[in-house]
A = this chain, B = another copy of it.
Amino acid sequence: MKLHDFRALSKALSEIENSGPQSLQILKDCYAAKKGAPILGVTGLPGAGKSTLVDHLIQHLRGAGKTVGVIAIDPSSPFTGGALLGDRVRMQRHASDEGVFIRSLGSRGSHGGLSRATRDLTVCLDAYGFDEIIIETVGVGQTELDIMGLATTTVVVLVPESGDAVQTIKAGLTEIADIFVVNKADRQGADGLQKMLQAMVDMDNSRSQALTVTIPVLLTQANQGIGVQELWRAVLNHRKALQKDSQHEKRQQTFRCAQFLELCGEAIRQQVESKLLSNKKWKDLVDQVASGKTNPYEALEKVLKYFQNVAGDGIDNAGLL
């Protein structure tokens, strides 16, 4: 499988997103061919101006001769269609640029979940050979926090609007920030928000010590490109700090382990589901539960017993290892 152009890449990404029959082979090949491009995560609450910021980051990177692959995670809505995706449209100015590839992922409908899809797509973009990979995601919810675990550097974007800081903290975003950006910095309250975030960063000693760099709190006006250069400098600084960080490789190992367990668990979960639906005896059980006649937890017990029986003791004799 060779990803020689955007069309081939798009096709491969679709196959992976839909867990098609070729997807495992593509992923094996992509992983073997991956180049280790750094991943920048950009997250924040709805309306923080993430897309605009990413748009200007792309421009900045293109100016420096870098190629960029972007995964943009957008809550999709069959009801509204694409009508409200103005952010995406704005990014279309990069459409004719062969050094930029943007892929949108809806928040629903990805086979096996959004964080699975994002992880696998990232491997593919890396194999294609982009210098930089950016993941943009709306930062509320468990899935979105999981996705940001993929990023080498995570930028959390806030705006000086009432409640935004508190909601960002409540959503757990402040814990995953390597860099804070106060966007729409021309608005009232930007300085106050910056001070508040700075105080919070100073308070959180433990994490800063581990990294030997403090988390910067930057001001941007994304719609005018103001502060984008400084942001990029901070990203590069963070990468340098990571290289010097003795804990980094250990954290990476923990992350790779967790990712692999999730990968296996999710793949087997999919197989179990399809088995339950395709095998006559199991399908009868599913139908009984669906009709409300059978206690689902009793049915679950049967399923679990079966899988324990077959997979419990024989595991050493499988001859596959």
Give the copy number: 2
B-chain residues with CB within 8 Å of residue A279 when the two chains form the complex: 315-316
Proximity bits, A117-151, B CB within 8 Å = 1, else 0: 00000000000000000000010111111000000
Q: A77-B174, A169-B80, A286-B257 are in contact. Are A266 and B264 (CB under 8 A)?
A: no
Q: Are A318 and B311 in contact (CB under 8 A)?
A: no
B-chain residues with CB within 8 Å of residue A140 when the two chains form the complex: 46, 75, 138, 140-141
Q: Are A171 and B46 in contact (CB under 8 A)?
A: yes
Q: Are B300 and A318 in contact (CB under 8 A)?
A: no
Complex: A282 Cα to B316 Cα, angstroms: 9
Selected from B76, B260, B289, the residue in CB contact (under 8 A) with A290 is B260
B-chain residues with CB within 8 Å of residue A306 when the two chains form the complex: 315, 318, 320
Proximity bits, A271-299, B CB within 8 Å = 1, else 0: 11101110101101111011110011111
Residues of chain A at the chain B interface (Cβ within 8 Å)? 24, 27-28, 31-32, 45-47, 74-80, 84, 107-108, 113-114, 138, 140-145, 163, 166-167, 169-172, 174-175, 204, 252-254, 256-257, 259-261, 263-273, 275-277, 279, 281-282, 284-287, 289-292, 295-311, 314-316, 318, 320-321
